[in-house]
Amino acid sequence: MKKKSNRGRKKNRVFRLRVGDSFVMLAPEQASAMAGVSLKTVYHWIAGTKTPSPQVQQLMEIRAGGLFPWQGWEGWRMLPDTGRLVAPNGYSFMPGELAWWSLEKALRAELQRENAALRVQVQTLRAQIQEQAANNLLTFPKAKKNRA
């Protein structure tokens, strides 16, 4: 009896994804869905004939482990099952809930521009008042005395 080749058998294979200091074992179907690539590509990764690009690797780490690998995002994480963004203080947000943030930022910038323009106007008026006072051009009406 002729022995069957193991070539083409992909049932027991898993993709090992490094997340931080540990590894996450993913079924090829899971890895394919996370990375947005075909199953054939994942099998190439498992066999070692190809490697995922650094961008795909980061995306899979974020999706599998929920941690953000970028500077400034320490303590932030994403819950892979719900997609909620969790802040270091424990508050969590859905992407749609963060839409107010960009609006708030734009409104704050507009108010800061208006505030700067008003400060310039106030400084100009103060300078004009000081100039007129120095030239004795500014006279204030005398107050009337009330006689009771």
Q: What is the radius of gyration, based on Cα positions, of the chain?
A: 33
Give the residue with greater pLDDT, 130 vs 136.
Answer: 130
15 phi and psi, to 5 degrees? Answer: -100, 125
Cβ 56 vs Cβ 25: under 8 Å: no
| Mean pLDDT, all residues of the chain | 81
pLDDT value of residue 64: 76
Supply the pTM of this predicted model. 0.45
Q: What is the mean pLDDT of residues 117-134?
A: 90
> Does the pLDDT at position 40 exceed 80?
yes
Which residue from 27, 77, 15 is spatially nearest to 51, judged by alpha carbons?
15
Cα 35 → chain centroid:
20
Hunting for tokens 């508050």 — which residue is that?
A: 91
Question: Beta-carbon neighbour count of residue 144 at 10 Å?
Answer: 6
What are the residues facing 17 on neighbouring strands? 24
Q: How far is CA 33 from CA 19, 21, 28, 44, 146, in A?
A: 17, 23, 9, 15, 88
pLDDT at 124: 95
